[in-house]
Amino acid sequence: MSFLKKLMRSRDSKDDESEDTKKTIAIIGLDGAGKTTILGRLLKSDYALTRPTFGINIEIYKYRSLEFIVYDLGGQTPLRETLWEKFVISADGLVFVLDSTDRKRFDLAAEEFNNALGYNENAPVLFLSNKIDLENAASADEVLDVIDFGRFTRVQRKYSFARCSALTGELLFESWDWLTLELSDDKNLPTTNVKIYGGYIFDSDGSEIETTLLGKPKTQSKHATLFKKGNKEIKKYLRMMEHYDRAETLIQVDEKQLVLTKEGQLVLSVIIGENDPAARAIQIIKNLHKNIERKFETEKTECLKQLLEDNYPLDIIKD
């Protein structure tokens, strides 16, 4: 955080400590790019509401040790100038969303992106090329041809480019994790390990194949209810995602996070600690997807438990 900002904040607030964990993010992009859907996907798994945003949605989103105040700004032309000026200037982070299937408006999107960068010259920028679940989504190269990222290197500004799907959640959490780390003043924020309390294997039709609770028996019985709730959430999500081959999500269950990935017929999920990096958990279960199919053929029971214990001993709960 800049010195000036810190000074202004400490003037406004007596509790400077907690202010430091609050970050404002402006999500911008043309109308229909997927801004509201992204915000919804981050907030909850069953967020289906995507109506055009007139004006502004403000949502609070807690992730890891930060509290994000996210401004989802309407993309309609007449609103852009007034709203952007007000909210983009003061944002700690900028997220620009591009509809990667809307090639006709790539140039317009690039222009808007430039405008936004003019309003705020410091905040880290996360550029999301959205809707990769659709067949005609632009490749990374196509987008990079239109958007000049070289300028960030020239001025040493922090940025990240990712392709994602707000609808299925694919690659969204990894990108958000990047932004979280960029904005965190807490250098102790864990970047690698997570604390896995257990996990599930489901069939994509919603039938449960395995539930694994990890840790000592006492810990396991303490979390039994949590796992029942998780089971319900997974089924609900899978009903929503039945037409998609790949999906990822993060669902808050009590004080823990449930991370889920679906690849074809197979659904893997783990429950991790409240402030753990979901991106790491997603990586772990993506890696396991490959091994699990192989393991299934030989051993039918406790596949997930064994794979976790064998490959990720440092990531699973011990007590």
Binding site for ligand G3D (CB under 6 A): 29, 31-37, 50, 52-53, 75, 97, 130-131, 133-134, 165-167
257 binds, among Mg ion, ligand G3D, none (CB under 5 to 8 A by kind): none
Can you read off the two tokens belonging to residue 246?
């790949």
210 binds, among ligand G3D, Mg ion, none (CB under 5 to 8 A by kind): none
Least distance to ligand G3D from the beta carbon of 29, Å? 6
Beta-sheet strand order (sheet of 196-203): 208-213, 196-203, 266-272, 256-263, 246-253
Least distance to ligand G3D from the beta carbon of 69, Å? 17
Cβ distance to ligand G3D smaller for residue 34 or 273: 34
130 binds, among Mg ion, ligand G3D, none (CB under 5 to 8 A by kind): ligand G3D
Q: Which candidate, 114, 306, 116, 107, places its Cα nearest to that of 201?
A: 306
List interacting residues with Mg ion (CB under 5 A): 35-36, 53
Cβ distance to ligand G3D smaller for residue 125 or 317: 125
Beta-sheet strand order (sheet of 125-130): 56-63, 66-73, 22-28, 93-99, 125-130, 159-163
Cβ distance to ligand G3D smaller for residue 133 or 315: 133
Q: Which candidate, 316, 309, 302, 312, places its Cα nearest to that of 210?
A: 302
**Cβ 201 vs Cβ 263: under 8 Å:** no
Range 78-97 burial, b when 16+ CB lie within 10 A, else e? ebbeebbeebbeebbbbbbb
Cβ distance to ligand G3D smaller for residue 34 or 93: 34
Least distance to ligand G3D from the beta carbon of 82, Å? 17
Strand pairing report for 93-99 and 125-130: parallel
Helix (H, G, I), strand (E, B) or coil at 208: strand
The rounded distance, in Å, linking the Cα atoms of 87 and 57 is 12
Least distance to ligand G3D from the beta carbon of 52, Å? 6
Least distance to ligand G3D from the beta carbon of 67, Å? 22
Cβ distance to Mg ion smaller for residue 165 or 211: 165
Instruction: List the beta bridge partners of residue 272.
Output: 196, 257
134 binds, among Mg ion, ligand G3D, none (CB under 5 to 8 A by kind): ligand G3D
Q: Of all residues in this chain, which one has the CB nearest to ligand G3D in the complex?
A: 34
Cβ distance to Mg ion smaller for residue 52 or 264: 52
Least distance to Mg ion from the beta carbon of 249, Å? 20
